[in-house]
Structure 1
Amino acid sequence: MKRPGPLLTLLAGLLLGVFMLSLNATTGTKSASSYRESPGVTAPPSPTPTKTTPSPSPSRSAPPNADYAGRTDDDSSAVAVSLRDGKAIAYFCDGHDKESWLKGDVKDDGTMKLTGKNGAELTGTLEDGKRIRGTVALGGRHYGFTADKAVKPSGLYRATATVRGAKLDGGWIVLPGGKQVGILDRDGKPSAAPRIDPVTGAVTIEGQQLTARPVTP
């Protein structure tokens, strides 16, 4: 009996090689498939930024309609301010020969800048509706002042008339407690004003009775 020849041996080796190659390919495919199907480790999604709605600014109420009266810090003069509908008129006087009428607007935050003749200026701030603190610039000087909320008859008064050919212009500040500070201008010549009746505003000037009335813007 003849032994298998070299050709048969070569063919058997070739078949074995094809079988092993096929087995490796199948195993690799399964491994790759298993790898793809297994869940991978992924980074957590980034949180969606939350939109922040800005808080609305607190609304400011308009300055109240009111009157304020007080004295300068050096106690030399008086200041009165009347506020109506965002407008202001003020009077500064020392009760002798120095006075100024000023007017202007009041902002919603309570600040004001009032102006008068000859460069006079009042800057002030309304504090909680209870008082006005500020400064009056007049004649090259600056007067700090505090004017508290006035309760009638305290406040600002004025009377104008022509008496015996003279033009009269009087201004009065009635302070809390009843004290009065005022100036009467006769044809451009200022002097201390006579007292007025704080209830009626009546005042007698050179024998003629006039009425000083509350001043508003």
Structure 2
Amino acid sequence: MKRPGPLITLLVGLLLGLFMLSLNATTGTKTVSSTPKKESPPVTASPAPTKTSASPSPSPSPSRVPVPDASYAGRTDDDSSAVAVTVRDRKAIAYFCDGHSMESWLKGDVKDDGSMRLTGRNGDELNGTLQQGKRIHGSVDVGGEHYAFTADEAKKPSGLYRATTTVRGARLDGGWIVLPGGKQVGIVTRDSRASAAPAIDPETGAVTVDGQQLTARPATP
């Protein structure tokens, strides 16, 4: 038997080469770069900003109003009594008087907003507000009774006067309110016994009580 010739060997080799070439084309072998690829760091989502509650606004402080040194005088709304207030350096003294037998001296401070709470004996109390430095509007509680009042700024000789002395061994305490227009309301107390006070000279404060010459002076805190 004859051996296949060189032509057959060449043909077989050619077919084998074609087979291998088509095999590479169908599998799609990819050349890999020798340089390692740098991976990107994972992206993390930023947390949503939290809503902070607004800080509570501080309570507004009371507005400061001018508190001039001045005197105020007027009558209660029922016209039964008179009220006078004198203010010095934001301190106040007040006098309530019906001109017969009921009276009360009160004192206290004037706050930044012009309000005042003045107190006296036996729980007597005056509450008022200074309005634009021209008048005081409020109420006074004396002897278990409640009175609303308005006292306007008083120019001399109007205002509040007081005299304290001893006459024939008796302690005497007199209070006078000189209203705008000149009308006077006052009480003299002799050892706790009250009675209507004689009129004073508003220019000098001179007054005669029980035959004794006295001088009533402007009352100040």
**Taking structure 2 as the reference length, what is the TM-score of the superposition?**
0.78
How much has 1:14 moved relative to structure 2?
A: 3.2
2:65 and 2:109 map into 1 onto residues whose CA distance is 15
Q: CA deviation at 1:89?
A: 0.7
For the 8 Å contact 1:159–1:213, the answer to whether it is kept is yes
The aligned residue for residue 204 of structure 1 is 208
Q: Does 1:86 align with 2:90?
A: yes
Task: Give the ranges of 4+ consecutive aligned residues of structure 1 lying more than 3 Å apart after TM superposition.
Answer: 1-6, 20-23, 54-59
Q: How does 1:156-195 map to 2 (within 5 A)?
A: 156-195=160-199
Structure 2 matches for 1:1-217, cutoff 5 A? 3=11, 5-17=14-26, 20-22=28-30, 60-61=64-65, 63-217=67-221
Secondary structure of 1:10 counterpart:
helix
Partners of 2:143 and 2:189 lie apart in 1 by 18
Q: Tell me, in whole angstroms, the C-alpha distance in 2 between the residues paired with 1:21 and 1:90.
A: 111
1:157, distance to aligned residue in structure 2 (A): 0.1
How far off is 1:145 after superposition? 0.6
Deviation of 1:159 (Å): 0.7
Q: Following TM superposition, by how much is the alpha carbon of 1:207 offset from its aligned partner in structure 2, in angstroms? A: 2.2
**Distance (whole Å) between structure 1 residues aligned to residue 185 and residue 107 of structure 2:** 19
RMSD: 3.1
- 2:128 partner amino acid: G
Q: Distance in 2 between matches of 1:163 and 1:59?
A: 48
Answer 1 or 2: which has greater helix percent: 1
Q: CA deviation at 1:112?
A: 1.3
**Structure 1: gaps spanning 5 or more residues:** 27-35, 37-45
Give ranges in structure 2 of 5+ residues lacking alignment. Answer: 1-6, 34-39, 41-48
Q: Deviations over 1:128-151 (max 9, x none)?
A: 211111111111110011111111
How far apart are residue 22 of structure 1 and its match? 3.7
Aligned-pair identity in percent equals 66
TM-fit CA distance, 1:17? 4.2
Aligned to 1:32: none
**Count of aligned pairs:** 197
Conserved 8 A contact 1:123-1:134:
yes
Question: Match for residue 42 of structure 1?
Answer: none
